Amino acid sequence: MKRFDLRKNDTVVVKTGKDKGTVGKVLKVLPDKGRIIVEKAHFVKEFIRPDRSKNIQGGIMEKEAPFEASNVMLYCSGCARGVRFRHKRLDDGTKIRTCAKCDSPLEKTK
Ligand SMILES: [Zn+2]
């Protein structure tokens, strides 16, 4: 399995498949499987059984399914595209990821 460094809430762009070009937020990271779930990408249909006791109506739901983390790149708003990133250590010791092209930080600022 390839190592990857994506985290929840990262903005990524899908590089392959039918959702190519989709920009979305990482909703979940499954490091053991090398997979991620990305907002608005890789929808699958799921059949929901009606369940009266839980007040579930049933029917077909669309939801995001996990897919290979290697199919996305981190999205850089400066470059307006998916980019490779570098690791950088700040003076205070914090490790951040920066865009390999324009060098802007790709971490979400809180
Ligand atoms: Zn950039």
For 54-110, the pLDDT digits (tens) are: 888 899 989 999 999 999 999 999 999 999 999 999 999 999 999 999 999 998 765
Distance 108 CA to ligand 1 centre (A): 14
Distance (Å, whole) CA 53 – CA 12: 39
pTM of structure: 0.82
Residues with CB under 5 Å of ion ligand 1 are 76, 78-79, 99, 101-102
Distance 17 CA to ligand 1 centre (A): 23
Burial 59-71 (b: 16+ CB within 10 A, else e): eeeeebebbebeb
Spatial CA neighbour of 19 closest among 51, 52, 42, 50: 42
Distance 82 CA to ligand 1 centre (A): 8
13-70 pLDDT, tens digit each: 999 998 999 999 999 999 999 999 999 999 999 999 999 998 888 999 899 999 999 9
